[in-house]
Amino acid sequence: MNQIKIFIKEKKLANQPTTSHAAANIPTSDVYFEFEKVYLGANSSDQYYLIPYNLSRLTVFIFIRVNNESFKLSLLKEIDDMLASSMLIFLQEIADSQLKINIKLNNMTNPDEKEIKYIYFNRLNLAQKTTIANLRDMPKNVINLLGQLSKDLRTQCDPCGEIFVKSGKDYWLACKKSDQREVYVVVSQKNANLTLIDEDIKQLCSTNFSNIFFME
Amino acid sequence: MKSDSTQISLANFFIYNTDYGHKEGREAEKLFYYYPESEKIERKVRQAGFCAGMVRFAETFKSNKPCEFVHTDKLRIVLYQIDDKFWMVMSLNVPVNSSKEPDDDQIVDHLYMSILNQAYNFYKLFNGNIGENLERIGAEQLRLDLKGFFDDYLDKKLLTTVVDSNLVNTFNGIQFMSLDRSMYLKVQCLLNQLEEKVPLVEKTVVMHNDQLIWNGLEQDDIACIYNYLRDLVVLNLDSSSSSSGNSSSSQSQQIARFLVDHNRKNGLNLFIRIC
């Protein structure tokens, strides 16, 4: 009963976001639309409409309480008016800053024969960062070993510690835990030894996680 | 689903309530959902009874945690208490190694616990707390609802995640985007303006592709919803890139729209405006 169903005219607007868009309104077709409802809050007590507003790479998810009677079609228009122009500017700025970072990275990377990849987790704020694009590309035993290591870190290294493992001929795995933060490193290098790997890990942590405290 | 016995596969997945099915002959009432549906009812009841028994047995040791994992030669059972009386259980077939022996090491318990966690969080996101649902709609309706929801969830998600679970896809982590300070403040400023001018807007989350920029939700909520939001964005990115591929869309043309979840709503369209 309380489903809100909305009909919206599809609109085509002028190419420049800064100019008034009302002028180029060409209604083409009616589209039907219904929002998802989600439960949030402790004990899932509150219900919200989830309104995802997307512009290219940016998406703003807006949550509106379900029992609100005054939710009208015009609200979407308001949201659209408020966000569209600023989001276009943000997109441009983000793209620019990413370009700069990429150039910097390209200059930094030197052709190195060994391959070091890492996964970082922070269980406190759930942050996750990884340089392994797809874990499935790793050999199966390495994937499995990573799982086992996470179990060992959890049970044996409390609150902090590190574990080094050699798997097969070419793979070294190292993991480090410091309170709620965990980092797993996979090094693929022939003829390495523990001291070399240890140095690699130290270097990786100091370049990538310089602002994150790892207990030594 | 018959699969290669060297791989981990789902043996069963069920939800039971310890308050139900105490009377003789009506034991099956304790089951609220069971996969595979084709299994004989005696076996379903026996599985649920076994799990309830294990939990009761483990309680006698006065551990501060309930029984979570049961290891047998052929099965690995993961038990998750989702509500006061409700338990969600998943059993996995232990894979065999090249010499046909069960290879116990391949299954890392807590990865599978977090899969169950994800499953219930996903249910809760769209349906709310299961215990409250039981009070509100009654056992019969709840069984139907659970069937509708989990049949779909297993098919789309769980059956594949079980085979292919690893450290990264079970962590439930969030990828944050690193933005410089001024950019971050600008985003926050815009959101504040939005909440000011449109008072109905209560909370907001902002993402750039699949990375999180701003989170206005509680920590627990964002953990539940992030995966869903990410999939929503990624699916829509795919569909928009494939549909705009044929036209000579210049880069300057950008489309603002309200997204629709194609998985949950079939054949609906988007509100589109071109800036």
Q: Which of A57, A127, A144 has its CB closest to that of B173? A: A127
Q: How many other CB atoms are there within 10 angstroms of residue B162's CB atom?
A: 23
pLDDT band of B238, cuts 50, 70, 90: low
Do residue A94 and residue B127 have CB atoms under 8 angstroms apart? no
Q: What is the 3 state secondary structure string of A124-183?
A: CCCEEEECCCCHHHCCHHHHHHHHHHHHHHHHHCCCEEEEEEEECCCEEEEEEEECCEEE
Does A104 or A164 have the greater pLDDT score? A164
The alpha-carbon gap from A180 to the nearest alpha carbon of chain B, in Å, equals 13
Q: Which residues pair with B31 in a beta bridge?
A: B16
The alpha-carbon gap from B253 to the nearest alpha carbon of chain A, in Å, equals 7
Tokens 């036209």 sit on residue: B247
User: CB-based contacts of B209: which residues, under 8 Å, 6+ apart?
Assistant: A57, B233, B234, B237
Rg (CA), chain B: 22
pLDDT at residue B227 tops 50 = yes
The least confident of B70-84, B114-128, B242-256 is: B242-256
Work out the average pLDDT over A105-117. 66
Does A191 or B35 have the greater pLDDT score? B35
pLDDT at residue B241 tops 80 = no
User: CB-based contacts of B198: which residues, under 8 Å, 6+ apart?
Assistant: A75, A78, A79, A82
What is the pLDDT at residue A214?
67
Using one digit for the tens of pLDDT, what is the confidence trace for A190-207? 788 888 888 888 888 888
Cα separation, B68 vs B70, in Å, equals 7
State what percent of residues in chain A have pLDDT above 90.
Answer: 4
pLDDT at residue A72 tops 70 = no
Do residue A80 and residue B236 have CB atoms under 8 angstroms apart? no
Highest mean predicted confidence (pLDDT) among A22-31, A137-146, B256-265: A137-146
Highest mean predicted confidence (pLDDT) among A108-122, A133-147, B45-59: B45-59
What is the pLDDT at residue A171?
87
pLDDT band of A70, cuts 50, 70, 90: low
pLDDT at residue B145 tops 90 = yes
DSSP chain B: ----TTS-EEEEEEEEETTS--STT-GGGGEEEEESTTS-HHHHHHHHHHHHHHHHHHHTTT-SS---EEE-SSEEEEEEE-SSSEEEEEEEEPPB-TTS-B-GGG--HHHHHHHHHHHHHHHHHHH--HHHHHHHHHHHHHHHHHHHHHHHHIIIIIHHHHHT--HHHHH--B-BPP--HHHHHHHHHHHHHHHHHSTTEEEEEEEETTEEEEE-S-HHHHHHHHHHHHHHHHHHHHHHHHHSTTTT--TT--EEEE---TTTSTT---EEEE-
Using one digit for the tens of pLDDT, what is the confidence trace for B169-199? 888 888 888 888 888 899 999 999 999 988 8
**Chain A residue closest in CA terms to B253:** A15
Work out the average pLDDT over A75-92. 86
**Chain A residue closest in CA terms to B250:** A15
Which of A20, A3, A6 is CA-nearest to residue A76? A6
Do residue B200 and residue A154 have CB atoms under 8 angstroms apart? no
**Chain B residue closest in CA terms to A75:** B198
pLDDT at residue A110 tops 70 = no
Does A129 or A215 have the greater pLDDT score? A129
pLDDT at residue A25 tops 70 = no
pLDDT at residue B92 tops 90 = yes
List phi, psi (to 5°) of B251: -70, -25
What is the pLDDT at residue A22?
36
Alpha-carbon separation of residue A97 from A55, A65, A214, B176 (angstroms) = 18, 36, 29, 16
What is the pLDDT at residue B119?
92
pLDDT band of A11, cuts 50, 70, 90: very low
User: CB-based contacts of B82: which residues, under 8 Å, 6+ apart?
Assistant: B15, B88, B120, B130
What is the pLDDT at residue B137?
92
State what percent of residues in chain B have pLDDT above 90.
Answer: 43
The least confident of A61-75, A113-127, B18-32, B223-237 is: A61-75
Q: Which of B167, B225, B271 has its CB closest to that of A147? A: B167
Exposure of A28 in the CB half-sphere (CA atoms within 13 A): 10
CB contact at 8 A, B73 and B96: no
Q: Which residues pair with A122 in a beta bridge?
A: A181
pLDDT at residue A26 tops 80 = no
The verdict on A24 touching B (C-beta cutoff 8 Å) is no
pLDDT at residue A166 tops 80 = yes
Size of interface A-B (CB pairs under 8 A): 224
Work out the average pLDDT over A19-47. 59
The alpha-carbon gap from A2 to the nearest alpha carbon of chain B, in Å, equals 15
pLDDT at residue A24 tops 60 = no
pLDDT at residue A28 tops 70 = no
What is the pLDDT at residue A138?
81
pLDDT at residue A16 tops 50 = no
Work out the average pLDDT over B113-133. 91
What is the pLDDT at residue B106?
83
What is the pLDDT at residue A133?
73
pLDDT at residue A108 tops 90 = no
What is the pLDDT at residue B86?
94
Picking from A40, A142, A153 by the largest number of B CB atoms within 10 A of its own CB, the best residue to mutate is A40
What is the pLDDT at residue A14?
32
What is the pLDDT at residue A71?
63
Q: Is the pTM here over 0.90, yes or no?
A: no
What is the pLDDT at residue A6?
43
